[in-house]
Structure 1
Amino acid sequence: MVSVLSQELIFQAVKSLAPPLSYEGHKGQSGRIGLIGGSKEYTGAPYFAAITALRIGADLAHVFCPPEAAPVIKSYSPELIVHPLLTEDTPLSVESISPWLPRLHSIVIGPGLGRDNAILRTVKELLKLAKEQEKNIIIDADGLYLITNDPQPIKGYPNCILTPNKIEFDRLYHKVFSSPPSGSQYQTETMDLARALGGVTIVRKGLHDVISNGQQVLSCEEEGSPCRKGGQGDLLSGCLGVCSYWAQLAKEHNRLTLKETELPLTLLASYTSCLIVKKCARLTFKRLGRSLLACDMVDNVGGVSCELFDQ
């Protein structure tokens, strides 16, 4: 198991993840992240995921959402590129959104998506296209509802990361194995589910985030916050969109201190993302206590990232 690697070695790999900053760089090199989500009822979740991606260090964040959600999401920040193209007209939506996919390094699916069946059909087709283009795919929230109903679209795709909380994990586990998890064998159950899904990476969120690709397992035991306000998982999905791309860059430029065989890229990206979000949660809770909100955590993302990557 990869968990036998020393924390010092893993931490050194984490620190090598971020691409070096250079005055000679150009916009887009540090990440162009796409997010498919949002709905009339849920506009905060896609914002939290996308703005976190930018705060960590991505250059551009695109949000593809229903037309009724676009003005609200855009009003939260002028930094986000918001496309009101996600509709119940599946052929038209796919035709409108698909030209953007080749430009993006990672696709985050699910924050604020809702469960409208027609919208989910559109998202399912976009998921297939992203997979064909070998994009990093992160699936969270109602994206996991889509996958729980039909795991086939992501089965066997190694560049896919799922981020279930307790309830979402239990539902997906029951779907695959036709029985509920015991709730006590966290590492074994997470690894079994990841293996059954053909080697996708699962980030099982909890007191300790358990991460597995079906072959290896890590546990992020960084102290977080006892306050579980909504939106914290959205920060994680945005972070994963960036870190999964950065891990690929680090491998391409030979910056990793661990070989991929020792620590697969999706596990490294997942561990790094969990570390950042838990650090943000702890710092924010220390300052605000039970009044902590996800938007307060966003304010700490940049500082935590700089401390982690730029020491």
Structure 2
Amino acid sequence: MCDVDISQMEAQLLKESRMLVPPMENILYKGKAGRIGVVGGSLEYTGAPYFSAISALKVGCDLSHVFCPLNAAPVIKSYSPELIVHPILDAEDALELIKPWLPRLHILIIGPGLGREPGILKTVSSLIQFCRYLPGYGKPLVIDADGLFMVTENPEVIRNYPSGVILTPNAIEFSRLAKAVLDKQWDPTPNPNPEHVKSLAVALGTKTVVVHKGASDVISTGSDGDAVVKCTAGGSGRRCGGQGDILSGALGTFYCWAAAEAARDRHEGVSGIPPQVVAAYAACRLTRECNQRAVAKKGRSALATDMLEEIHTVFAALFEN
């Protein structure tokens, strides 16, 4: 991709992103446009799973579930009546309680506000292993935040994951993952090296996508070929909490739509980039534009809640023209 003009490639990726968006038609039923599950939340971090789950809804999925510990559930429920909240993540039989919901969900987003309590991380690791071997259907994953910490501690939990997994590390998280997976000591940088991003994706498996968030977001797949793309448009110098959670939620919905396209045998678009990479680009572009518009209005006071208010306007401008 190094020989392709970035602006030209981004224009093509934006065009292909629009192809992922399902039409709003009266013949659709609830759930057809996506059912997303967010696995996360803790006593300290209740905002993160909310931002992820509500962003998935605002981008266009139909139903958004949050699987969280008991003590986080009342707070998350209080943020919005739109979310379906399951206070079971810290139960002794958490995995058994979650299993019946899995056939209803298209995508799992793992990590927002998850925390690092060993018992919870063990449950989530077991959940991923269960999803890996589900018969008859796959369960694509988006992994962010403390989900990435879990992967850093045990990369095998997602290596060669068969249904597809997208990781969304920031600079520090990427550096830790590189050390754990590749034994490479790459210093954190806001300007990701595309070759480094590609190397990590390849090491984790052909159906892995890595989204290195930074001054420009760099996206690579572990599959053969030179599928490394950048998202340079939008964004700002404002780095408030919650932005990554908004990205993960948006990505969950776009990934759901991309998986539906792949199931219809649209394996590659005109650019030759796989649908899951197009989905990652779409989510990055949307989030960066929401950030830019929120900061234009609020400056240093811009918060993740201000970015949520921009989702409809940005989505319409980018994907419905």
* Structures share fold, TM-score greater than 0.5: yes
Aligned partners of 1:280 and 1:111: how far apart in 2? Answer: 19
- Tell me if structure 2 keeps the 8 A contact 1:128–1:153: yes
Return the match for 2:196 from 160, 184, 189: 189
Match of residue 115 from structure 2: 114
User: Matches of residues 149-188 of structure 1 in structure 2 within 5 Å?
Assistant: 149-157=153-161, 159-181=164-186, 183=189, 186-188=193-195
Answer yes or no: is 1:31 the counterpart of 2:6: no
Aligned partners of 1:96 and 1:88: how far apart in 2? Answer: 8
Match of residue 129 from structure 1: 130
- Displacement, 1:303? 1.7
Deviates more, 1:268-277 or 1:158-167: 158-167
Return the match for 1:270 from 257, 280, 285: 280
Aligned letter for 1:305? F
- Displacement, 1:17? 1.1
Aligned letter for 1:208? S
- Displacement, 1:301? 1.0
Q: TM-score, normalised by structure 1?
A: 0.94
Aligned partners of 1:308 and 1:110: how far apart in 2? Answer: 28
User: Matches of residues 7-18 of structure 1 in structure 2 within 5 Å?
Assistant: 7-18=10-21
Aligned partners of 1:185 and 1:70: how far apart in 2? Answer: 36
Matched residue SS, 1:6: helix
Indicate how the Cα distance of structure 1 residues 255 and 310 shifts in structure 2: closer, same or farther if over 3 A, else same. farther
- Displacement, 1:235? 0.3
Answer yes or no: is 1:230 the counterpart of 2:241: yes
Aligned letter for 1:219? K
Superposed CA deviations along residues 77-129 of structure 1, whole A, max 9, x for unmatched, are 0000000010162xx00000111011100000000000000010000011112
Match of residue 301 from structure 1: 311
- Displacement, 1:3? 7.6
Deviates more, 1:239-248 or 1:48-57: 239-248
CA RMSD of aligned residues (A): 1.9
Aligned partners of 1:202 and 1:185: how far apart in 2? Answer: 11
Answer yes or no: is 1:147 the counterpart of 2:166: no
Deviates more, 1:15-24 or 1:78-87: 15-24
- Tell me if structure 1 keeps the 8 A contact 2:14–2:318: no
Match of residue 45 from structure 2: 42
Aligned partners of 2:320 and 2:228: how far apart in 1? Answer: 27
- Tell me if structure 2 keeps the 8 A contact 1:86–1:119: yes
Aligned letter for 2:302? L
Structure 2 gap segments, 5+ residues each: none
Deviates more, 1:5-14 or 1:73-82: 5-14
- Tell me if structure 2 keeps the 8 A contact 1:19–1:250: no
- Tell me if structure 2 keeps the 8 A contact 1:107–1:130: no
Aligned letter for 2:144? D
Superposed CA deviations along residues 246-270 of structure 1, whole A, max 9, x for unmatched, are 11223445778815x8111221110
Aligned letter for 1:210? V
Identity over aligned residues, as a percent? 46
Aligned residues: 308
Matched residue SS, 2:77: helix
Aligned partners of 2:175 and 2:110: how far apart in 1? Answer: 20
Deviates more, 1:188-197 or 1:123-132: 123-132
Q: TM-score, normalised by structure 2?
A: 0.91
- Displacement, 1:62? 0.2
